[in-house]
Structure 1
Amino acid sequence: MSLTSAATLATLDKTGPRRITDLAVAEGVTQPAMTVLVRVMEESGLVERKGDPSDKRVTLVCLTEAGASYVRTRGQAGVDAYARLIDELTGDEVEALAAALPALLHLAELESHAREESDR
C-alpha cells in the first residue's frame, strides 16, 4: 500500500467521511489522483462511497470495517516496533525519552491545530 493510501485511510479514521476534493487537499495530491486512489481502495474493500444525507449532490468517502481494521493493525504494528526499539535503550536513555514526552505531545497538538487550520 502506498504512503498516500495509508495516510488517506488514517485521515478518514481521524476525521470521518470526507469529500474526494477534501481528501486531495489534506493529502497534498490532485483531485484526479485522489479519485483514482479512492477507486483502488474501494475495489480493495477499504473504503466506500456514500451520499451525504445533508446534501444529496455530495458523495463522501467512508472507511469500511476492513479499512478501519487496517488502520488499527498498522497503528499497533508501529507501537510494537517502537516498544522493541525502546527495549534496546539504556535506563538513562529511557528516562530522557520519558522526560521529552510532554514536549513531544505539545508538538503533536501544534501539528494537529495547524492541520485543522489548513483544512478550513
Structure 2
Amino acid sequence: MSLTSAATLATLDRTGPRRITDLAAIEGVTQPAMTVLVRVMEESGLVERRGDASDKRVTLVHLTEAGATYVQARRQAGVEAFAQLIDNLADDEVEALAAALPALQHLAELESQDREGPKK
C-alpha cells in the first residue's frame, strides 16, 4: 500500500467521512489522483462512497470496517516497533523521551490541525 493510501485511511479514521476534494487537499495530491486512489481502496474494500444525508449532491468517502482494521493494525505495528527500539535505550534516554512526550503530542496536534483544515 502506498504512503498516500495509508495516510488517507488514517485521515478518514481520525476525521470521519470526507469529500474526495478535501482528502486530496489534506494529502497534497490532485483531485484526479485522489479519485483514482479512492477507487482502488474501494475495490479493496477499505473505503466506500456514500451520499451525504444533509446534501444529496455530495458524496463522502467512508472508512469500512476492513479499512479501520487495517489502520489499527498499522498503528499497532508502529507501537511495537517503537517499543522494541525504546527497550534498547539507556534509562536516562527513556526518561528524556518521557519528559518530551507532552511537547511531541502538542506538535502532532498542531500538524494534524494544519493538514486537516476546517472540518466539514
TM norm structure 1:
0.93
Deviations 1:56-115 (A, max 9, x none): 111110000000000000000000000000000011111111111122122122223333
Paired residues in the alignment total 120
Q: Which residue of 1 aligns with 2:32?
A: 32
Unmatched tracts of structure 2, length 5 or more: none
Aligned 8 A contact 2:27 2:115 in 1: no
User: Given the superposition, is the C-alpha separation of residues 117 and 22 from structure 1 closer, same or farther in structure 2, using an over 3 Å criterion?
Assistant: closer
CA displacement at 1:118 relative to structure 2: 6.7
Higher RCO (CA 8 Å, separation ≥ 6 residues) = 2
Unmatched tracts of structure 1, length 5 or more: none
User: Given the superposition, is the C-alpha separation of residues 100 and 73 from structure 1 closer, same or farther in structure 2, using an over 3 Å criterion?
Assistant: same
For residues 1-120 of structure 1, the aligned pairs below 5 Å read: 1-117=1-117
| SS of equivalent residue, structure 2 residue 56 | strand
Q: Equivalents in 1 of 2:28, 2:75: separation in Å?
A: 22
